[in-house]
């Protein structure tokens, strides 16, 4: 029995060593965070519908969309797929990416001087197993004047960012009073929780 255990353990170690991580996102922030965690990965993206049922609770939407993204991407037996969706929620409404400058201004005006929540839904999948989870971070903004909002939008053009802002940019430095929760979740990926979950799939530090 002991010999069988050692054989099985050796097989599992070899299996884990050859698992490859696939990031199902073209977000440069998510790539940056995986690189920061010293994890090798390959990007594989398929355009998907990011809508969700109107009857769904807004806090469940990011996880639902992350699964939709995962469903659209084909993986092999030795691959682990990671997908994520991040939204800003205020007054039980989701702020996605702004459609234009006017929309971005309106979003930041609504966030000004208030608390909102950033929720990321994550899906990690192989051909055999899948886990999903959500991470929530509270973000408190100082009151913003229109000149600050317009300066940020004109210089940083946050049109690919949920809620029309990035915490790591100028607006975060001058506008955010405090956060409660994972800072990196606001960037678009709760990397510490992701690293813990990836270990269960055989993905660990791989950059030497």
Known catalytic residue: 160?
no
Catalytic residue among 17, 60, 71, 85: 85
Alpha-carbon distance 203 to 79, whole Å?
10
- ∠ Cα 152 154 159 (to 5°): 85
Crossing angle between the packed helical segments 28-36 and 191-199, to the nearest 10 degrees? 60
Q: Which residues of 71-94 are buried (b: 16+ CB within 10 A; e: fewer)?
A: eebebeeebbbbbbbbbbbbeeeb
| Catalytic sites, residue numbers | 85
């Amino acid at each position: 029995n002991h010999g069988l255990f050692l054989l099985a353990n050796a097989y599992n170690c070899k299996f884990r060593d050859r698992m490859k991580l696939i990031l199902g996102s073209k977000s440069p922030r998510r790539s940056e965070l995986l690189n920061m965690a010293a994890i090798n990965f390959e990007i594989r993206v398929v355009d998907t519908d990011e809508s969700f049922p109107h009857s769904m609770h807004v806090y469940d939407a990011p996880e639902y969309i992350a699964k939709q993204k995962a469903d659209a991407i084909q993986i092999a037996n030795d691959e682990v797929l990671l997908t994520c969706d991040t939204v800003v929620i205020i007054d039980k409404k989701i702020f996605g990416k702004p459609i234009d400058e006017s929309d971005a201004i309106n979003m930041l005006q609504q966030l000004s001087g208030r608390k909102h929540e950033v929720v990321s839904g994550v899906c990690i999948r192989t051909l055999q197993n899948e886990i999903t989870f959500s991470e929530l971070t509270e973000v408190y903004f100082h009151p913003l004047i229109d000149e600050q909002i317009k300066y940020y939008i004109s210089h940083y053009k946050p049109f690919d960012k949920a809620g029309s802002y990035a915490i790591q940019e100028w607006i975060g430095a001058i506008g955010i009073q405090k956060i409660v929760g994972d800072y990196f979740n606001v960037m678009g990926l709760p990397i510490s929780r992701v690293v813990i979950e990836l270990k269960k799939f055989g993905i660990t530090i791989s950059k030497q």
